[in-house]
Structure 1
Amino acid sequence: MTTQQLLDERYGRRTSRRATRAWWITVAVVAVAATTALGWSTVATSMASVDADATGYEVVDERTVTVTYQVVAPTDATVACALEAQDVEHGVVGWRVVEHAVQAGQAQAFTDTIPTVAGATTGLLNSCWFA
């Protein structure tokens, strides 16, 4: 017998099996609830996301850049996309937000023009979201 068991027996301290069981049940319920909440959060976030990829750009002249990109959304909706034009030093010289209606699950390609305030060297798709 260990010292702790001897002291518990001597002074009448005992851990109740009922209390121990209740504690483990509580821990299990909290663990299952946390796992369920995390799983649902992950699924809900992925269902509400828009997938967008830039496929090309063209510097038309000193004041204009065109950006070609494709968008895939999980539902029929209007999607807004932020496009930007950058100069040699990666400074933003043009910015535009455009909206397009997209069909669920289908990749749709778009080409939009960005007006610039200075000479640009590249055009980028910054991000897309549900409008």
Structure 2
Amino acid sequence: MTLTDVERMLADRYGRGVSSSRRRLWWISVIVVAVLATAALGWSTVSGALRTVDAETTGYEVVDDHTVDVRANISIAPGTAVACAFEAQDTEHGIVGWRVVEYAASDSHLRAVVETVPTVAEATTGLVRSCWIP
């Protein structure tokens, strides 16, 4: 069955007949948008992972009523400076000491550090609170 010129004109006007070139252009557009969205998501994931800092408290030692030594491992991309907050707590988990330390960039991925935290009262624990890229 063939369409007459009038039927073809009406089909084009009211969207019943979509030419193959329009259909192909639509699918190419969909594919391009999907590829760009995937690339953007991948880049944001990779760039976010490159700027992460992991810190783990490995131990502490209460030196006296006004001092706690905190041991920690800091994992960060080589060549990146980092800052960390260390804290000391009492028996009720109140903060009795606090110290922020900045570390220069290093070639090492893992850094083992020991920091002395001064306290205003006797502490029962010491920990690394958080680390960030300054």
TM-score bracket for the superposition, by shorter chain length: 0.7 to 0.9
Corresponding residue for residue 65 of structure 2? 62
Corresponding residue for residue 74 of structure 1? 77
- Provide structure 2 residue ranges, at least 5 long, that are not aligned to the other structure: 1-6
Q: 2:125 matched to 1:125?
A: no
> What is the CA-CA distance between 1:96 and the residue it aligns to?
0.8
Q: Does the Cα contact within 8 Å between 2:70 and 2:128 map onto a contact in 1? A: yes
Letter in 2 for 1:93: V
**C-alpha distance in 1 between matches for 2:81 and 2:103:** 6
- Provide structure 1 residue ranges, at least 5 long, that are not aligned to the other structure: 1-7
TM-superposition CA deviations, 1:41-71 (whole Å, max 9, x none): 1111122223322111112222221101122
TM-score of the two chains, using structure 1 as the length reference: 0.78
Corresponding residue for residue 112 of structure 1? 115
> What is the CA-CA distance between 1:72 and the residue it aligns to?
3.1
SS at match of 1:45: helix
Q: Does the Cα contact within 8 Å between 2:72 and 2:128 map onto a contact in 1? A: yes
> What is the CA-CA distance between 1:92 and the residue it aligns to?
2.0
**C-alpha distance in 2 between matches for 1:102 and 1:54:** 20
Alignment match of 1:27 (pick from 30, 33, 36): 30
Larger Rg: 2
RMSD over equivalenced CA pairs, Å? 2.2
Corresponding residue for residue 51 of structure 2? 48
> What is the CA-CA distance between 1:16 and the residue it aligns to?
2.8
